[in-house]
Amino acid sequence: MENNHFFDLNYLKEMRVELTRFMMAYKFACDEINTKINILSDEFNYIHDYNPIEHVKSRIKSPESIFKKVQRKGYDFSLASIRENIRDIAGVRITCSFISDIYVLSEMLQNQGDIKVVEVKDYIKTPKPNGYQSLHMIVEIPIFMSDRTENTYVEIQIRTIAMDFWASLEHKIYYKYNKEIPGGLANELRNAALVAAELDRKMEWLHKEVSVIKEENSEDTGLAFLENGDIPAFLLKALSEYQKRIGHE
């Protein structure tokens, strides 16, 4: 009885603290990545004339899902093995307007000094056979705790609104049919993915055309960025004074 860990109160307490620490690191990692994305988003709102970030969602994988994945992949059940092998416990999904935004954003994140890129899977250049498209990155970031630093993996998925729309419907259908989507439906989903990709290409083209026209107009007045209603009043005032001084009224 004495040797049975499950009746040892101290052992159970230690286990609880260990597990709490383990899951907490992933929550903090999500918070860190969300902060980085919020900073980029605010910077885009204030400095540039449009923001590529449409939505951001984050989630921590449930213990049940972690357990199932460990079992499915045949990994060891120790915390050390789970930490090393299950790299999507913390997940952040960013939805962008255009395909080019996905790559701009992924570069910006990859260039941040405290982010180590471990793996990039480009399902946009090479979609999955079912039609799934998205850019996936596994990154590692340091989480500074009171007595240790935990390097923690986060999976970042970046996709367009059209890709996200497709993926969420496919996800629902996949589970509705218990992971065995009937052939006819799977074909229709593949076709829908092609239509979504075509829509993304068209929207990108339109976006570029509009940007060129905007740039031409802004060269005329030099005031393009005044169109952004989010610019603080003191900045507008300073800019207008400056323009008066250099004779650009």
Per-residue tokens: 161: 């609104």
H helix and E strand count, the chain? 7, 5
By C-beta, is 71 or 211 nearer to ligand 0O2? 71
Name which position in 171, 208, 237, 248 contacts ligand 0O2 (CB under 6 A).
171
Which residues face 53 on adjacent strands? 96
Instruction: List the x/- string, 15-54, binding to ligand 0O2 by CB under 6 A.
Output: ----------------------------------------
Name which position in 58, 92, 97, 132 contacts ligand 0O2 (CB under 6 A).
132
Please state whether beta strands 90-96 and 135-144 pair in parallel, antiparallel, or not at all (unpaired).
unpaired
Identity of the residue numbered 133: Q
Residue 14 catalytic? no
For residue 232, the minimal CB distance to ligand 0O2 (Å) is: 38
With contacts defined by CB under 6 A, name the span among 21-29, 100-108, 163-171, 230-238 that binds ligand 0O2.
163-171
By C-beta, is 77 or 234 nearer to ligand 0O2? 77
By C-beta, is 98 or 166 nearer to ligand 0O2? 166
Strand extents, DSSP E, the chain: 53-60, 90-96, 116-122, 135-144, 149-160
Query: Which of 18, 64, 155, 209 is the catalytic position?
Result: 155
Name which position in 21, 128, 208, 237 contacts ligand 0O2 (CB under 6 A).
128
DSSP 51-115: --EEEEEEEE--HHHHHHHHHHHT---SHHHHHHH-TTSEEEEEEESSHHHHHHHHHHHHTSTT-
Residue 78 binding ligand 0O2, by CB under 6 A: no
Query: Which residues neighbour 50 within 8 Å (Cβ) at sequence distance 6 or greater?
Result: 44
Residue 153 binding ligand 0O2, by CB under 6 A: no
How many angstroms from the chain centroid is the CA of residue 99?
14
Instruction: List the x/- string, 133-152, binding to ligand 0O2 by CB under 6 A.
Output: ---x----------------
Instruction: State the catalytic residues.
Output: 155
